[in-house]
Copies of this chain bind each other. A is one copy, B any other.
Amino acid sequence: MAGAGQTPFGRSRGSIGSLADEAAETALERANVGDVDAVVIGSMSPMGTIGEAHISSKIMDHLGLTPRPAIRVEAGPATGAAALHVAFWAVSSGQHETVLVLAAEKLSHLEPREASGILSRIATPEERALGLTMPGMTALMARASMARHGATDEDLADLAVKAHRNARSNPNAHRRKALSREDVLADHMVAEPLRRYNCAPLADGAGARVLTSKDRGPVRISGIGAATDRLRYADRRVMDGFPANSAAASKALRMAKIKTGDIHLLETHDAFSNLEWSNPEDLGLLGSGQGLDAMKRGETDLGGRLPINPSGGLTSKGHPVGATGLGQAAEVFWQLAGEAKGHQVDAAVGMAHSIGGFGASVFVTVLEMA
């Protein structure tokens, strides 16, 4: 993996094409590989958000990258990670030597109600009919976790405090405000027990990566793994975690030929704060029920034994839905390459973890220093 790029996440005046352009340019400059042979593009719902079909052709035209082949990949909010996996296939199949993978989403021009209307389409029609939105389902899950582990509202607030503290030193983060536990507890409720600061802000943004089999960059992808799950919460066998997390992680670790203990850094999909407890447990990086204690003991802080979301994570770095997964992968790239200015951690092996829908599809990528 030769280069990574990302726009700042947040509200942008730029079009989806100009966001893609910015991320691609940074990644290509860093990669310094000359030309690319093909492009893989992630975007969750350009038809819903900007009324455009066949978005890959529009982005290629905007980037001036025609006549190279282009394909769009989508997997709900895990779209960026899915695009990375497809680009990895394209290179490791031997068909393409160097592939640019980029993901972009544009949401801030929509009214909040329009944006959440589009996102609600990720859930099943049955759940939508019940009013079960993504925050609503995750709130039910948070309650189940909290009851099982004796967690309090203060603990949930502390997760938001930690995330926002990390984001303060990340220039690409959306919410860079210093927060106290009291600030979070005074914040308005979105879906009890989740307050606004516990929920990822929707953002505009783009991420990019250059994968090459030619001259190896500072970081390599050593394992990828993905899994799906039954869609409806009511059809699941586990209430306070996502089984697809475990399945995807064990495949990626097996491919990388490493154990969970070898992972020094995790960028995990915390669209809601409580997922920062449950995801690392599902992924096998923390023991069952240890997510909360590890956070309390500072083990998941920037200087801890397993830094989680040094970028600030989705809750404070921001969540440009389809672009989020490539932003996570870019963060791990920078951390392993020693280029995470201001929020650098000490890690040689990292994991990026992305979720599409309510745990319905999960993509895990293991990255190592080359």
Contacts and interface: CB of A to CB of B under 8 A. Distances in A.
B57 A361 contact: yes
Given A61-B231, A229-B67, A122 B53 contact: yes
Contacts of A51: 121
A291 interface: no
Nearest to A52: B121
A53 B231 contact: no
Contacts of A54: 44, 74-77, 121-122, 356-357, 360-361
B44 A56 contact: no
Given A45-B53, A71-B82, A82-B71, A58 B92 contact: no
A261 to B, nearest CB: 24
A356 B230 contact: no
A239 interface: no
A361 B70 contact: yes
Interface in A58-83: 58, 60-61, 65-77, 82
A255 B95 contact: yes
B48 A121 contact: no
A228 B60 contact: yes
A310 to B, nearest CB: 27
Main secondary structure of the interface of A (DSSP, over half): mixed
Copies of this chain in its oligomeric complex? 2
Contacts of A76: 53-54, 56-57
A44 to B, nearest CB: 7
Interface residues of A, number: 62
A83 B360 CA distance: 20
A366 to B, nearest CB: 13
A85 interface: yes
A70 B72 CA distance: 14
Interface in A63-112: 65-77, 82, 85-86, 88-90, 92-95
B75 A73 contact: no
A74 B74 contact: yes
A94 B92 contact: yes
Nearest to A225: B69
Interface string A114-133: 00001101101100000000
Given A45-B53, A56-B75, A95-B92, A69 B227 contact: yes
A54 B121 CA distance: 8
A159 interface: no
A361 B61 CA distance: 11
Interface of A: 38, 44-45, 47-48, 51-54, 56-58, 60-61, 65-77, 82, 85-86, 88-90, 92-95, 118-119, 121-122, 124-125, 224-232, 243-244, 247-248, 255, 356-357, 360-361, 363
26 contacts: A52-B125, A53-B118, A54-B77, A54-B121, A54-B360, A56-B228, A57-B361, A61-B228, A61-B231, A61-B232, A66-B229, A67-B227, A67-B243, A67-B247, A69-B227, A69-B248, A70-B228, A70-B361, A71-B82, A71-B86, A71-B226, A72-B73, A73-B86, A74-B74, A89-B90, A95-B255
Given A53-B122, A67-B243, 5 more contacts: A51-B121, A54-B121, A60-B361, A66-B230, A68-B228
